[in-house]
Structure 1
Amino acid sequence: MNPEFDLTQGPLAPTREPLAYGVLAAVCLAALMLPLTFVGVAVATPAIGRELGGSPLALSWTTNAFMLTFGSVLMAAGTLADEFGRKRLFSLGVALFGLTSLALVFVPSLLWLNLLRGVQGLAGAAALAGGSAALAQAFDGPGRTRAFSLLGTTFGVGLAFGPILAGVLVEHAGWRGIFLSGALIGGLSLGFGVPRMLESTDPEARGVDWPGTLSFTLALVLLTWGILQAPQSGWSSPWVVLLLLGALLALWLFIVVERRAARPMLDLSLFRYARFVGVQVLPIATCYCYVVLLILLPIRFIGVEGYSAIDAGMLMIALSAPMLVVPFAAGWLHRWFSAGNLSSLGLVVAAGGLFWLSRVGPGQAPIERVWPLLVIGLGSGLPWGLMDGLSVSVVPKERAGMASGIFSTTRVAGEGIALALVVALLAGLVQHALGTVAGPAESVMLAARQLAGGDLAASVASLPALQPQALQQAYAEAFSQLLQVLMIITLLAAAVVRVALHEPRHPGPRSTDQRNSKNS
């Protein structure tokens, strides 16, 4: 093969640059689909519940089904991309994502919606893994860094403007319009970018570690299911205990399989590096101080406080807009300050914003929420802008690929688990706030789950003796307590990151080569 057209070879030849930018356009368009459907579904959840019905547990799967399948197969998808072709897997993932988005426009029930959301998560993992691998092959050196920076910016744009776009679509086209927009973006990516991509494979690809993939997926599904089921059945119920024990058994099986595999999907020896462990804490920390709010706040604003979808989307911009700027600033500041210091500082700032937001009571003007949301977004943006690069710089270079896959899986799987835990905790806190209400315990428990899911009307029907204002006050009290718990988790993560990613102070700007040589 002519090296000029071989994506597995070195730097880009000048005649291949238009093709490389075509790859970049295709991958960025595809990347725009993911945050839009992620945050968009959160904005649409109250409308979905009104039209399709369903219990709070069933409605929570509209988000969790996507995150579970996405996170559990991401590492396997990367291996498939290397073995069967990056372009091929990317094209398949985008096409399947677009088709499932189109099918979601016509779903007749919540069950079908949740099943298709699971398929959409599989498609998203294939698109991201194949697209990232293709992008890494299409660019080299500084060009690769800029390409992946633009990819990260695309995610930021989706997170920043996804809520308001989703709000406009819900108000004027209904919640199904969100999925239609995903299908249209997928079609643009396939039609414009994919024809400009060249195929590439890894001749030394090792094949998919199916035992590891299946045991890891089973552990994630059982753990998330058990956490979500707990508010409904109780943490001590036999069903919940069985699910959680099954998750532990599946996790043990996964560890045994990976230790014995000749070429494991997850090299457990990487966790001997303290800095590698510290990097894994970063996406987990941002889950609790930032990502869960992308889901919970629209549900609160729309379902409990009665904001319109557009007004809720406008408020959410205060939280997500800093992601357009702060990650770039973090990369610039890293020339003078260590990643550990910057990341821990950002988490402390985010924790301060969480505490500030917890002090804003119901009925206050929207502007009172804007400032703490901005602080949370600003603080979260510092580790967000550094952790992708850190994920591959804190291990030996020959293990960078696996480290990146582990980091991506930790991020996505951690988001699903964090969301399930936080929703379960919120339901428990709401139930505690309603504990003195006269009425059957089962009715109080049901009303708490309905409130936590953003269905104020249903909770009023479950507890007709209470006025809506009383239920809103109980929810606000519980949400304030939840924010303070998230603040504590974020502060603990900041301390771990500060210790694990500690570096000696550098007197001046550091070059990339200096940083890499130190971290390798």
Structure 2
Amino acid sequence: MTTTLLTRRRVSPVALPTLLLGVFLVPISIAGVATALPSIARDLGSDPVQLQWVVNGFNATFAVFTLVWGVISDHVGYKITWLIGVTGSIAALLFCAVTPDLALLDLGRILAGLFAAAIGTSTPAIISGAYEGVARTRGFALFGTALGLGLAIGPSISGGLTAAFGWRGVFVAFAVLIAVSLVLSGFVPAVRHERDPGAKIIDFRLLRNPRFLSAVLMPVIQAFGYITLLTYLPVALSSVYGLTAGQLALVMIGLTLGALVGPVVGVRLVNSGRGISVHAMFYTSIALMLLGNAGMLLIAAAVPLWVLLIPMALLGLSFGLPLGLIDGAAMAAVPPTSSGSASGLVQFARLGSEAIVIGFYAAIISALVATRVADPRLAQEVASGLPGHAADYIPAFVIGQIAILVAVVLGLIATIVLHRVVRRSERRPGDAPRRVSATLD
């Protein structure tokens, strides 16, 4: 057990909204910018590789640099890392807004992902170090809500901005919003832990910590059980039900609503005094995920669309309920001096697993459709949701859902094993408390 000493000043009520504004923009940059790709293609060219890197460039650098910024923030301080991220993000977004060609836009998105990783990594560490008790719990609940909100409404916001101001206006608007955080940065507390002189640059003991790993595993399971459908369910609904873009936007609310309300509900349940633990909430989430993904197999029977809203709602809750608990549980499982590294690993697991799982899912669906459709061009269109070819798309979707269910079950087994290891370790006498000092300026 680690005891942390803090020299505290009262944290401004403006601090948390300032931090969460940056967090809110990170998932929008991931999920929302893709909606501007058609407009970007019309202006800068339609090279498929370069267009894909408008999205993948951000995702790849964000995933990798969460680990880098995690280590850096433990050494230079979490607010300094956050300021670097905010300032660099503004510059990268404005660069994207004025770039004259697609290759430079890719470069701008790579830089945007690099600096967004600094924001995504340092924010949980600041919340963990600056707040205690109920305030800390509330901070992580709102952190999860900001992530869910950005993920849920990011495509709608980006689509609206693109329609009103063009794709360049999307990047300008994001830069202006994050500049608000920079203006209010004086309210963000400066948290920095004093490290032992002999402390390692990277503490690999985090990867041997079963309590920490059980928290890190949860977003990986969510990548399989929720993010794949968040990304590709519109394709399935287009193929089977022939929905328009506007209709898809309305139906997808059924999948995202739980992600908006779930984080606060999950935290309140854990802190209700009813004996509901974080692990119990993880199990509840996985159970809802299994039910929701099994229910989505009803697409194969072309059931009425309203029937699908039930498993979609279950999936939304499966994602939202633990979202405000994951980062707090991970931070609580490690020494305060490793908060940045721990946060980096959580964000790496979250986004890295999403990128890998989504890529594999898309490849599997495309390959399965290609076995039924001889024309390669038509097969690509069918895999992208071309209406009128449900008979060719549904078998691939069913196999994809079965693969998701298998992956979630394996995640459940791993979670149970880690939980048992944690419970056994809690029964053994712990090491003597280690005192680590930190300052909150």
| TM-score of the superposed pair, with normalisation by structure 1 | 0.69
Query: Which whole-Å CA distance do the structure 2 matches of 1:304 and 1:291 have between them?
Result: 20
Corresponding residue number in structure 1 for 2:134: 142
> Which deviates more, 177-186 or 270-279?
270-279
Tell me the SS of whatever aligns to 1:336.
coil
Residue 266 (structure 1) shift:
4.8
The residue type equivalent to 1:284 in the other structure is V
**1:320-331, aligned counterparts within 5 Å?**
320-331=256-267
Corresponding residue number in structure 1 for 2:371: 432
Corresponding residue number in structure 2 for 1:485: 403
The answer to whether the Cα contact below 8 Å between 2:121 and 2:340 also exists between their aligned partners in 1 is: no
Corresponding residue number in structure 1 for 2:437: none
Corresponding residue number in structure 1 for 2:226: 290
Corresponding residue number in structure 1 for 2:251: 315
The residue type equivalent to 1:263 in the other structure is K
Please, which of 202, 224, 227 is the counterpart of residue 265 of structure 1? 202
C-alpha change, 1:476 and 1:455, in structure 2 (3 Å) is closer
C-alpha change, 1:61 and 1:371, in structure 2 (3 Å) is farther
The answer to whether the Cα contact below 8 Å between 1:166 and 1:313 also exists between their aligned partners in 2 is: no
Tell me the SS of whatever aligns to 1:10.
strand
Corresponding residue number in structure 2 for 1:72: 64
C-alpha change, 1:38 and 1:353, in structure 2 (3 Å) is same
Q: Give the RMSD, CA atoms, in angstroms.
A: 3.8
> Which deviates more, 347-356 or 158-167?
158-167
Query: Which whole-Å CA distance do the structure 2 matches of 1:421 and 1:266 have between them?
Result: 31
| TM-score of the superposed pair, with normalisation by structure 2 | 0.80
Tell me the SS of whatever aligns to 1:21.
coil
The answer to whether the Cα contact below 8 Å between 2:262 and 2:317 also exists between their aligned partners in 1 is: yes
Tell me the SS of whatever aligns to 1:433.
coil
| 1:498 aligns to 2:437 (yes or no) | no
The answer to whether the Cα contact below 8 Å between 1:167 and 1:313 also exists between their aligned partners in 2 is: no
| 1:345 aligns to 2:284 (yes or no) | yes
Corresponding residue number in structure 2 for 1:388: 327
The answer to whether the Cα contact below 8 Å between 2:259 and 2:317 also exists between their aligned partners in 1 is: yes
Query: Which whole-Å CA distance do the structure 2 matches of 1:338 and 1:181 have between them?
Result: 40
Corresponding residue number in structure 2 for 1:469: 388
The residue type equivalent to 2:227 in the other structure is V
The answer to whether the Cα contact below 8 Å between 1:171 and 1:309 also exists between their aligned partners in 2 is: no
Residue 340 (structure 1) shift:
3.3
**1:216-255, aligned counterparts within 5 Å?**
none
The answer to whether the Cα contact below 8 Å between 1:43 and 1:163 also exists between their aligned partners in 2 is: yes
Identity of aligned residues (%): 28
The residue type equivalent to 2:411 in the other structure is A
> Which deviates more, 129-138 or 484-493?
129-138
C-alpha change, 1:21 and 1:302, in structure 2 (3 Å) is farther
| 1:196 aligns to 2:187 (yes or no) | yes
| 1:333 aligns to 2:324 (yes or no) | no
> Which deviates more, 400-409 or 344-353?
400-409
> Which deviates more, 78-87 or 317-326?
78-87
C-alpha change, 1:24 and 1:417, in structure 2 (3 Å) is same
C-alpha change, 1:393 and 1:22, in structure 2 (3 Å) is closer
Please, which of 309, 312, 317 is the counterpart of residue 370 of structure 1? 309
Query: Which whole-Å CA distance do the structure 2 matches of 1:329 and 1:291 have between them?
Result: 20
Query: Which whole-Å CA distance do the structure 1 matches of 2:422 and 2:81 have between them?
Result: 43
Query: Which whole-Å CA distance do the structure 1 matches of 2:22 and 2:112 have between them?
Result: 13
The answer to whether the Cα contact below 8 Å between 1:361 and 1:476 also exists between their aligned partners in 2 is: yes
| 1:63 aligns to 2:55 (yes or no) | yes
Query: Which whole-Å CA distance do the structure 2 matches of 1:384 and 1:289 have between them?
Result: 14
Q: Deviations over 1:286-322 (max 9, x none)?
A: 0111123333345666799875554433333222221
The answer to whether the Cα contact below 8 Å between 1:360 and 1:368 also exists between their aligned partners in 2 is: no
Matched length: 422
Higher relative CO (Cα under 8 Å, sequence separation at least 6) belongs to 2
Query: Which whole-Å CA distance do the structure 1 matches of 2:39 and 2:305 have between them?
Result: 22
Query: Which whole-Å CA distance do the structure 1 matches of 2:342 and 2:355 have between them?
Result: 20
Query: Which whole-Å CA distance do the structure 2 matches of 1:112 and 1:369 have between them?
Result: 42
Q: Gapped runs of 5+ residues in structure 1?
A: 1-7, 207-260, 457-467, 506-513
Query: Which whole-Å CA distance do the structure 1 matches of 2:110 and 2:90 have between them?
Result: 14
Residue 29 (structure 1) shift:
1.1
Q: Deviations over 1:133-169 (max 9, x none)?
A: 4444443443333223222222222223323323433
Please, which of 6, 12, 16 is the counterpart of residue 10 of structure 1? 6
Query: Which whole-Å CA distance do the structure 1 matches of 2:51 and 2:240 have between them?
Result: 15
Residue 121 (structure 1) shift:
0.7
Corresponding residue number in structure 2 for 1:168: 160
Q: Deviations over 1:228-278 (max 9, x none)?
A: xxxxxxxxxxxxxxxxxxxxxxxxxxxxxxxxx9725250x4444444443
Q: Deviations over 1:370-428 (max 9, x none)?
A: 33221111123334343223324445777665444322322222222222222222221
Query: Which whole-Å CA distance do the structure 2 matches of 1:303 and 1:77 have between them?
Result: 42
C-alpha change, 1:300 and 1:44, in structure 2 (3 Å) is farther
Q: Gapped runs of 5+ residues in structure 2?
A: 434-441
| 1:129 aligns to 2:97 (yes or no) | no
C-alpha change, 1:96 and 1:455, in structure 2 (3 Å) is farther
Q: Deviations over 1:350-381 (max 9, x none)?
A: 12212222322598765344332211111233
Corresponding residue number in structure 1 for 2:179: 187
Residue 122 (structure 1) shift:
0.5
Tell me the SS of whatever aligns to 2:252.
helix
The residue type equivalent to 2:62 in the other structure is F
The answer to whether the Cα contact below 8 Å between 2:262 and 2:322 also exists between their aligned partners in 1 is: no
The answer to whether the Cα contact below 8 Å between 2:298 and 2:308 also exists between their aligned partners in 1 is: no
C-alpha change, 1:137 and 1:282, in structure 2 (3 Å) is closer
The answer to whether the Cα contact below 8 Å between 1:288 and 1:490 also exists between their aligned partners in 2 is: yes
C-alpha change, 1:417 and 1:26, in structure 2 (3 Å) is same
Query: Which whole-Å CA distance do the structure 2 matches of 1:9 and 1:496 have between them?
Result: 35
